[in-house]
């Protein structure tokens, strides 16, 4: 788990709960289709696990 994760926002947060919007914002994602490369740690994976229906992610080498 020492690598990086590329996270992409695939679905809009419109209609989502306040918590879901906050989690997406905490991941640094603002608009649909945007990606961020984040550290692969438990906090990042936990945030992804809370909103998996909005995101796609892949491990970076």
* Domain spans in the chain, listed from the N-terminal domain onward: 4-60
**pTM (two decimals):** 0.90
Q: Are 33 and 10 in contact (CB under 8 A)?
A: yes
User: What would the pLDDT profile of 30-56 be if each residue is shown by its tens digit?
Assistant: 999 999 999 999 999 999 999 999 999
Q: How many whole angstroms separate alpha carbon 54 and alpha carbon 61?
A: 23
The DSSP result for 11-55, as a single string, is: S--TT--HHHHHHHHHTT--STT-EEEEE-SHHHHHHHHHSTTTE
What is the rounded average pLDDT for all residues in the chain? 95
Residue 2 has pLDDT above 90, yes or no: no
> 20 exposed, middle or buried (CB, 10 Å; 0-12, 13-18, 19+)?
middle
- The third-level CATH classification (topology) of the domain covering 4-60 is Ribosomal Protein L30; Chain: A, (3.30.1390)
pLDDT digits (tens, 9 = 90+) for 11-36: 999 999 999 999 999 999 999 999 99
């Amino acid at each position: 788990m020492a690598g990086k994760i590329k996270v992409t926002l695939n679905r809009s947060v419109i209609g989502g709960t306040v918590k879901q919007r906050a989690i997406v914002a905490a991941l640094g994602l603002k608009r649909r289709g945007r990606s961020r490369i984040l550290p692969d740690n438990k906090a990042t994976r936990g945030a992804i696990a809370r909103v998996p229906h909005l995101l796609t992610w892949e491990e970076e080498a």
